[in-house]
Amino acid sequence: MRKWFLVQLYFLMSVLCSTAMAEEVVVELYKFKFIPQELTVKVGTTVKWYNKEKRQYHSVWFKEQGEEPGEYFFPEESVTKTFDKPGRYPYVCEPHEKKMKGVIVVTK
Ligand SMILES: [Cu+2]
């Protein structure tokens, strides 16, 4: 009985630890800006863009990587992307491309 409890405890701990290690970092979209505008993360990090505006939609588009424009997302919505390779990843917001630019720098 006791052994079974320990097995369960071990399983629970390993789940909790792996969740904590898969890092997620948030970029906020507010007043037509990506905050922070430049963000450095480690390989394997998931970046979440959270729209904090009152009523303005935005998008996250890795144009220079040749990706399709991302979908628009509205206040209180978010989009995520996981970065598996080191590099410098500039992106823009499609409808506000001229003023909304950001960069994700991915390090080893
Ligand atoms: Cu925008």
User: Within a domain: residue 4?
Assistant: no
Give me ligand 1 centre to Cα 46, in Å. 20
Tokens 């997620």 locate to 24
Give me ligand 1 centre to Cα 42, in Å. 26
33 membership: H or E segment, kind and range? strand 33-35
Give me ligand 1 centre to Cα 88, in Å. 21
Measured distance CA(104)–CA(100) in Å, rounded: 14
User: Within a domain: residue 48?
Assistant: yes
The 10s digit of each residue's pLDDT in 29-47 is 999 999 999 999 999 999 9
List of residues 6+ apart from 36 with CB closer than 8 A: 27
pTM listed for this prediction: 0.80
Give me ligand 1 centre to Cα 98, in Å. 9
- How many domains does the structure of the chain reveal? 1
Sites in the chain below the pLDDT cut of 50? none
Give me ligand 1 centre to Cα 57, in Å. 6
User: Within a domain: residue 18?
Assistant: no
70: left (phi over 0), alpha (psi -120 to 50) or beta: beta
